Structures are given as C-alpha cells and as structure tokens.
Amino acid sequence: MATARGEEFVIASGSDQVPERLAAALEPRFTVVRETRRRARQVWLDTFDGRLHAAGLTLRQVAGAGSGELVLSTSAGTDVACEPLGTTRWPRLLDVIPAGPLRDRLEPVVEIRALLPLARAEGTLTELRVLNRQQKTVARITVDAASLLRPVPAVLPTRLVIAPVRGYQTAAERAGQLLTVADGFAPSRHPAFESVLKLTGQPPGGAADIGEITLSPAMPARVALAGILLRLANTITANVSFVIGDVDIEFLHDLRVAVRRTRSALKLAGDALPGGIAARFAPEFKWLGDLTTPTRDLDVYLTGFDQMAAGLSAASPGDLEPFRAHLATRRLTEHRRLVRGLRSARFTGLMADWRSALEAAARPSAGPEPDVGSLAADRIARAHRRVVRLGSALTRTGAGHGPSGTDLHSLRKKCKELRYLLEFFGSLYDPPAYRRAVKNLKGLQDCLGEFQDGEVQREAIRRFAMQMLARRGPAGAGRQATVPPTTAELAATLLAMGELTAQLHARQLRGRAEVADRFAQFTRAGILRTLGITGGTARS
C-alpha cells in the first residue's frame, strides 16, 4: 500500500482555473477529472528543540470538516507514514496519536517531548485524477492553495503534487514531463515546508537553541562571563511559559539545568563580574533552583516508574500502584506551587534585574582588564585540582568499606563544577581536545551519579512512605481527593517500596565499587594536558 509522494510543482499564477489549465497541459494523452475540493487547515509540528527537523523529518496535520490526518515525510518530501487524526489542540504528547506505524516511527525521535505547532495555514485542497486512454487512473494530483496564518500571515505559493498510482509510474512520469514543459507549472526543488520556514524566519528548534557563545582568549573576562550568563537567562525565559503550561517535563529539566549552570558560574567565576553582582543574585538563584526541585524529582520518579516496577522480584508491580497514585497527587500539588513561584513578582523581578545587571556588565570599558583565556585556565586548573585531591584521598581510604556516601557526594559536586567550567569555556579550546576532556570526566560523573541518585531516591522513598502513612491518619483523612488504599494494600505497597530501596542499594554498591577504577582512568587521561592548560593559562 506504499504511496510515492511524487513530483511537486509550483503554480506560477496562483490557484485560478487550475483543473482547466492542467487538462490543457496534459491532453490528448491524458484526461483530468476533478474529485474533491475542500477547505483544509494545516499545522506543521515539531518538538521545542526541533528533533524532527534535526532528524530530517516533517510532520504535518491536514484537517478539514470533521476529519484529518497526520502525515510524516522526509525533508525531501517522501511520505513515510500517516495516521487519521482530526482537529487537535496542540501542543500534545505523542499519546494523542493512535498506536501504529506513525507513532512507532516518531517515538524514538520525539521521546517524551510534546509536539508543538510551528506554523498554521488555511486554504483549499483540490484532488484530481489523471486518466489514461483506457480511462484508468494512473496518477493523483493534489493542488494546495493556502495562506499562512501563524506565526506570520502570508500567502504561500500554490503547489501541486502529482503522485503515481501504484504500478503506473511511467505514465505518471510522462504526465509530469508534460507539466514541466507547460506554461505556468514550475518543478519545485524544495518541499512546501521550506517555503513556510522561509516565511517564519526561524528553523524548528530555533527558540530552544539559544546559541553558543564563541569566546576568544583575549576577550575581557567580565564581558565573556556576562555573555554566558545572558545566554543561560535566555534559556530560563524561553522555557518558563511551557513549564507553567506543563507541556512536557523536559522544559522544567532545561530550565533547571540553566539555573544550576548560572549558580555554578556565579560561584566559580562570579568574581569576574563587577559590583557584587554574584553575591546579590546567588541567593535568588538558589531560591529558584529549590523551587523547581520537588516537581522535577517527582517527574523523574513517574517517568521511570514502569521500569522501576518491572524490576521487582518478590513484590508484584501492581503493589506499587498506590505509590504511583501518591506520586501523581504530590506532583499536582508541587507543580501548582512551582507555577505560583514562576508567576510571582519575585521571579519576574529577579529575571528583569538579572538581565539589566548582566547587560550593564557586558558593556565595553576603557583600560586593561583580565582576559577570559586566563580566567578559564585558572578556574579549570583549580577545579581539576580539587577533584584530584578529593578523589585521591577517597580512593586511598577505599581499601576497607570504601568511601562514605557523603564523601562521594562531595566528589560528585566537584566533578560537576569542573564539567560546567569546561562547558562555559569550551569554545576557547581545540574542539576534539575539548570533546575528549568532557568524555573522560563524564565516565567518572556517570559512576558517581549512579551512586548518588540511588542515595537520593532511597531517602525519597522513605519520605514518601511516611507521607503515605500520614495521609491515612485522622489529620489528613478529610482532605483526600482519592480513595485511600486499604491496610492490606498499603502494607503490600510499603513492602514493594522496601524492595525498591534494596535494589537501589545494590545499584549503589556497584557504583561505589567502580569509583576507584573510573577515578584512575580520569587521572590517567590528564584533562589539563589534553586542553593545553599549563600554569593557569589557556592555549590561544
């Protein structure tokens, strides 16, 4: 049932009398029969970070009166899959698409991200058939005359697609050749989506891609750091409305990463900014980070819930359902609290003041100042030293029971600081060397993360268990929106949660056992040597 999308043409003089002009162009070899003409709305979709576009795919919904379909095609215009889907309010997660080949094709690319409308158009779709001398349909023609409504109003070029009926490729090609030589039909080299992109002026994912700052070693450290922080501020701002709308969980994740990087930049290099900016804003960004933590933690639990439940051996995954219900209820509450915070005067004031302070800091000034090359080399070397010192101490004492959880947590934090510094100043270094340095550090970070995540999750499970018990008490009973579990159900759930903590503990032990090896690999790799940092200066 595969259908080739066929050849595309742009109709020079618009959509007037197209069937008649087509008939004139194709006779006497073919006749043209008009099938249907209908109003249609078109929506082009992609994730906020443009995953489909990056994967060379275009997703379009065409909807008319009471019906519609989603069509996935390649950037070259070949249809990959389609699925009926009527008028839909976007953005939506992938589960809005019925299970089938289209969703199967989208899932590995889109993952947990929502599909957002990139552009909307409205117009008419005219369907025609091309018949051979035996009056057999050999090709289908669709004429698409539409105007872009959003993000910018504009008239789109009228397009025509001639698609062969299966088994009649040669006849359809001949019809295409006749159109090529006819007046007013120009073969289109680019799919319709490119015309849309030209008009919108922004590629999919453009809003998410705040852009890397390219630094040069001689740039004043103050200007460079302000530029880095402004970029992070843009990321925070770009994600806020989607976090408030709860569009998908990655918006909050991206916002949190930008906040965490901002805090690290202030801590590790804030002294390069003038006028006590770092001291003034650091507590506010700590508040912002803390505000987002509970919702994010619950997102992580709920997303990985099925996998976690599938790992149970003594308990049954069903035993954990009251736990899932508890997490979902908590998330609703925490998300409401987060939204209140992001809509507060404190947050809007923080972002406005922060931006003004950074813009002021980024202004050029006369006179010599410290350069970013030296600052980067100095801070990376210092952070590296801290990792090496702490890691060596921990792995030396690791012969007995191994390093404690607190020590490993400290080492993880030092590694994170080094990682952020590498990312901030990455553009100062040779790209392959930079990638090697990050890869080496990441190996150690992954292993420490495995340990620390287990620690945090075990602690959280204990906390959730206490909350679930407390909810059954007389104080909480009156406020419950859902039916509380019975004593037997709660007992089964708590036992299953106990098994989860045991699994997490086993995972932690595995992570801890690996730390020494990973740390040895990290020190052998010599990040400073890789980057050419000697004596606290960057290679230009």
Of the pair 129, 507, the CB lying nearest other proteins is at 129
Task: Compute φ and ψ for 193, nearest 5 degrees.
Answer: -60, -30
List, in sequence order, every beta strand (DSSP E) within 29-158.
31-46, 57-63, 68-74, 79-84, 116-131, 137-150, 154-155
Q: Which stretch binds other proteins (CB under 8 A): 18-26, 163-171, 224-232, 511-519?
A: 163-171
The contact pattern for other proteins, residues 42-81, with x = CB under 8 A and - = no contact, is: ----------------------------------------
> How many other C-beta atoms can be found within 10 angstroms of the C-beta atom of residue 316?
12
Q: How far apart are CA 305 and CA 249, in angstroms?
A: 15
Q: How far apart are CA 409 and CA 416, in angstroms?
A: 11
Of the pair 90, 168, the CB lying nearest other proteins is at 168
Using DSSP's 3-state secondary structure scheme, residue 439 falls into helix
What minimum distance in Å lies between the beta carbon of 138 and other proteins?
A: 9
Of the pair 1, 310, the CB lying nearest other proteins is at 1
Q: How far apart are CA 432 and CA 534, in angstroms?
A: 18
- Which residues, 6 or more positions from 473, have their beta carbon under 8 angstroms from its beta carbon? none
Residue 86 found at the interface with other proteins (CB under 8 A): no
Q: Which of 1, 345, 366, 488 is in the footprint of other proteins by CB under 8 A?
A: 1
Q: Which stretch binds other proteins (CB under 8 A): 159-167, 249-257, 393-401, 510-518?
A: 159-167
Residue 340 found at the interface with other proteins (CB under 8 A): no
Of the pair 79, 321, the CB lying nearest other proteins is at 79
Of the pair 135, 313, the CB lying nearest other proteins is at 135
Of the pair 172, 192, the CB lying nearest other proteins is at 172
Q: Which of 15, 31, 75, 137 is in the footprint of other proteins by CB under 8 A?
A: 137
Count residues binding other proteins (CB under 8 A). Answer: 12
State the DSSP string of 167-227. T-HHHHHHHHHHHHHSTTEEE-SS-HHHHHHHHH-S-TTTTT---PPPP-TTSBHHHHHHH
Using DSSP's 3-state secondary structure scheme, residue 164 falls into strand
Output DSSP code: residue 13. Answer: T
Q: Which stretch binds other proteins (CB under 8 A): 127-135, 371-379, 475-483, 486-494?
A: 127-135
Of the pair 171, 309, the CB lying nearest other proteins is at 171
Q: How far apart are CA 276 and CA 324, in angstroms?
A: 45
Show the CA angle centred on residue 275, arms to residues 274 and 279, nearest 5°: 100
Q: Which of 66, 134, 474, 475 is in the footprint of other proteins by CB under 8 A?
A: 134
Q: Which of 92, 96, 168, 324 is in the footprint of other proteins by CB under 8 A?
A: 168
Binding site for other proteins (CB under 8 A): 1-2, 84, 129, 134-137, 165-168
